[in-house]
Structure 1
Amino acid sequence: MFDDTRSRFLGCLIGCAVGDALGCRLEGLASLDVESVFDGRWTDDTHMMIGVAESLIANKGFNGNHMAQTFIKNYEQEPWRGYASGPPKVFRWIKSGVPWDEAAKQLFGGAGSYGNGAAMRVAPVGLLYYDDTEKLRFVAHAQSMITHTHELGTEGAVIQAYSVALAVKASQSSEWDSYEFLEKLMGFTSNETYRRKLKKAVELLKEGADRHKVVKELGNSVEAHNSVLTAVYCFLRNWGNFKDAVTYAVNLGGDTDTIGAMTGAISGAYHGVEAIPEQWRNKLERRAYIEKLAEDLWALK
C-alpha cells in the first residue's frame, strides 16, 4: 500500500457521501441489489459533513460561530435533506441570539442530545487533525456542541474523528491489524459505555459473529453509542475492501445512512479514493465539490 495522504482525504469525504447515499436506499435489501438501487443522492449526514469542511477551510481551523452559521445557511437552502427535529430547533435558537455552544443544551429537557448527528459529520476534523490527537479531540468535541451536548453524543463524535485519523495512519503502515486499531480506541476514550462496546467489538471480531448478534451487541440505531462503534466494526470486519465494508454496514438495518456514512468515511480514509467503485463515484451527487473540499483540507496540512 502506497503512502498517498491526498488520496486518503478524498477517499474519506467521498466514502462518507457514498456510504450515506447507499444507506438511504438500501435499508432491508440484500447486497446483491447494491448496483441497481444506488443513485448517488445523499442526506443530511453528508450535507452537515460538507458544512464542517467548509467552515474548517474558511477559517483554517475551528470557529464555532462560523460553523454554526454555515450549518444554518446550508439547512435553509436545502431543508429537505432529512434532518431530524433537533438541529432545526437549535438553528432557530441560535438565530434568535442564543450562543452557538449554549443553544443545544436546551434539548431534551436540558440533558442534550446523544444522537449520532455530531459523529456522522465529523470526518473532516479527523482528517485535518489526524496527526494532532489533542487538537482532534478538542475540535471534534467543540463542533458537537453546536447540536449535541450530551456526553455520549460528544464522545461518539470524538471517537469517530479519531477512527478516521487512525485509518489514515494505518494506511501508512503494514503492521496494523483490527485488534491494534481497537486497542488504540480503547486507550483514547475513558467513557465506560464506549469501552464496554469496544470490548464487545473485539469478541465479535474473534468469533466472526453473525449480523443479528452484531446488532444486538453494538446496535444499529440513531444513538451515538449504538452506532459509532458499529461503523468501526463494519470497517474492521471488512478491513480489506471498501465496497464490502459499506455494503455490510447498510445491510445491518436500522440507521443505515448514518452507519453507512461513518463506515465509508473510515474505510475511505484507509483505502483511498481509488478503492471506491468507480460507478459509485461517477453517480455521486456533487462529487466534484466534495472532492474540492477534500483537496482544500489536504492543502491545509
Structure 2
Amino acid sequence: MRHLEWNELAAYRARVRGCLLGGAIGDALGNPIEMKSMVTVEAQYGEKGITGLVPDRHGMVGTITDDTQMTLFTAEGWLRGYTRIMTDGGGTETALVHEAYLRWLDTQQSDAPQPELSSPHRTGWLREEPWLYARRAPGRACEFGIPKNHIPDPRGAIDGTPGPVNPDAKGCGSVMRSAPFGLTDASPQYAFELAARCAQMTHGHPTSYYASGAFAAMISHLVTGESLQDAVRLSMGLLARYPGHEETTTLLRKAVELAAAGPATPMTVESLGGGWIAEEALAIAVYAALARTTFWKDHTPIESALLLSVNHSGDSDSTGAICGNLLGARHGDGLLPQQWLARIEGRAQIAVLADDFAAAVCPGVQRP
C-alpha cells in the first residue's frame, strides 16, 4: 500500500478517477461515429467532424459501450485481486479478474440481474447496476473467449507465444479494458505482465496481449506522476524486453514520431490504421494524447486530443476510450471537460469505483 503525503494522495485519487472517467468520455464521444468513414462524419457534422458529444443511433447522448463496461469489470476484478494480495500474498489475481469477466458476460446475456446466477463467484455491486445491462456491440473474441474458462498462471511467462484461447485474435478488445491494471502501487512491469496474462483469456495473439501490457504500464507510470512522453518511452523500453514485441513497438514508434513531426489532423490519425486491431488502437490513442493540434481552435488541449482520437474512419469508441484513460491518468478528473463529463452515463458509479481503488491502495483516501 502507498504511504503518501496529503497532496500526493489527492493527486493519486484524482488520477484514478480521471483514468476511468476520461475513458468513459472518450468512449461516449466515439460511440456514435464508430464504423463511419470520415467522409460520412464530415458530411453529417461538418468539416471538423464531431466537436462534442452527439446522439448515438438511438438518440441518446453520453452512452458508453462495451469498452467502458469491460474496463469497469476489470477494475472490480483486479481490486479484489489486489486486496487478496494484501491479505494473503495473492496467487489468485487472474482468477478473480476472470470471475469479473463472467459477471460482465452475465450483463450481456440478460436484461437484468438473475438471482439464479448468484454465487460467491458471481456477485458484486457492478452486476447489480441496471445501466450496465445494455448490450453495446460486445466484441466476439471477448464474448466467446471468456466462457472457455482459461485462467492464466499469475506467475507464468510472457514469451511471445500464442495463447490457448483465440490464438489468432489481435483485436483491440483486450487493450481497451486494460487500464485498471496500472492503477495500483504494483510496478509497471507487474502491471504489464498481469494485463498481458488477462488479455490471453480472450485474445491469444502476442501483439494483442503485448499492446494490452504496454498500455497498462503507461497507466502505471502516469498515476505516479510521469509525463505522457516519459510514460510512453518507459513503457516502450519495457515492451522491448519481450520476444515478439516488434509489431507493437513499430507502430508505437511511428505514433511518437508522427506526434513530434507536425500539426495533427484526422488525416494523420488514419495513417496509423483504423484502430480495429490492438497495436493500431493503442498507437492512435498515444498519438492523439501526445500530438498538438489547432484543428479545433475553440477547444482546450485535452478536448482537442479526445476529438483527435475519435475523428477517423475506424474503431472510434475504442481509440477514444484508450486516449481518455491516458489523459485522465495524467491530468486527473479535475481537468477533464466538465460539460462532457456531466452527460456521461454512469459517471457517479464510475467515480465510486475509482474511489474504492484509491481507498484500497492508499487507506488514507476516503470517499467524500
Name the TM-score, length of structure 1 as normaliser.
0.86
Q: Match of 2:24, as an amino acid? A: A
- Contact kept in structure 1, 2:76 and 2:353, CA below 8 Å: yes
Q: Match of 1:74, as an amino acid? A: W
Cα distance between partner residues in 2 of 1:210 and 1:287: 29
Cα distance between partner residues in 2 of 1:186 and 1:163: 9
Gaps of 5+ in 1: none
- Contact kept in structure 2, 1:45 and 1:117, CA below 8 Å: yes
- Contact kept in structure 2, 1:220 and 1:254, CA below 8 Å: yes
The alpha carbon displacement at 1:293 in A equals 1.0
- Contact kept in structure 1, 2:28 and 2:53, CA below 8 Å: no
| CA shift in 2, pair 1:32/1:44, >3 Å | closer
**Over residues 2-43 of structure 1, what are the superposed CA-to-partner deviations in whole Å (9 max), with x where a residue is unaligned?**
751110000000011111111102443545541444812111
- Contact kept in structure 1, 2:27 and 2:68, CA below 8 Å: yes
Task: Give the structure 1 partner of residue 257 of structure 2.
Answer: 203
| CA shift in 2, pair 1:36/1:182, >3 Å | closer
Q: Match of 1:235, as an amino acid? A: A
| CA shift in 2, pair 1:226/1:35, >3 Å | closer
2:275 pairs with 1:221: yes
Task: Give the structure 1 partner of residue 52 of structure 2.
Answer: 34
Cα distance between partner residues in 1 of 2:208 and 2:179: 15
**Over residues 202-221 of structure 1, what are the superposed CA-to-partner deviations in whole Å (9 max), with x where a residue is unaligned?**
321232154323322x2223
- Contact kept in structure 2, 1:20 and 1:258, CA below 8 Å: yes
Number of residue equivalences: 285
Task: Give the structure 1 partner of residue 112 of structure 2.
Answer: none
SS of equivalent residue, structure 1 residue 119: coil
Query: Percent identical across equivalent pairs?
Result: 28
**Over residues 185-207 of structure 1, what are the superposed CA-to-partner deviations in whole Å (9 max), with x where a residue is unaligned?**
33121211222223322321232
Structure showing greater Rg: 2
Q: 1:294 aligns with which of 354, 359, 366?
A: 354
Task: Give the structure 2 partner of residue 87 of structure 1.
Answer: 142
- Contact kept in structure 2, 1:220 and 1:259, CA below 8 Å: no
Matches within 5 A, 1:1-301: 3=8, 4-27=11-34, 28=41, 29=45, 30-31=48-49, 33-37=51-55, 39-59=61-81, 60=83, 63-79=93-109, 80-94=135-149, 99-101=150-152, 105-107=164-166, 111-129=167-185, 132-169=187-224, 172=225, 176=227, 178=229, 180-190=230-240, 191-208=245-262, 210-216=265-271, 218-238=272-292, 241-301=301-361
The alpha carbon displacement at 1:229 in A equals 1.5
Cα distance between partner residues in 1 of 2:325 and 2:228: 18
Cα distance between partner residues in 1 of 2:346 and 2:53: 19
Cα distance between partner residues in 1 of 2:349 and 2:95: 23
**Over residues 149-168 of structure 1, what are the superposed CA-to-partner deviations in whole Å (9 max), with x where a residue is unaligned?**
21101001011111212322
Cα distance between partner residues in 2 of 1:73 and 1:225: 27
SS of equivalent residue, structure 2 residue 95: helix
Cα distance between partner residues in 2 of 1:255 and 1:35: 16
The alpha carbon displacement at 1:181 in A equals 4.2
The alpha carbon displacement at 1:251 in A equals 0.5
Gaps of 5+ in 2: 1-6, 35-40, 86-91, 110-134, 154-162, 294-299, 362-368
Moved more, 85-94 or 263-272: 85-94
| CA shift in 2, pair 1:135/1:250, >3 Å | same
SS of equivalent residue, structure 2 residue 151: coil
Q: Match of 2:349, as an amino acid? A: Y
Name the TM-score, length of structure 2 as normaliser.
0.71
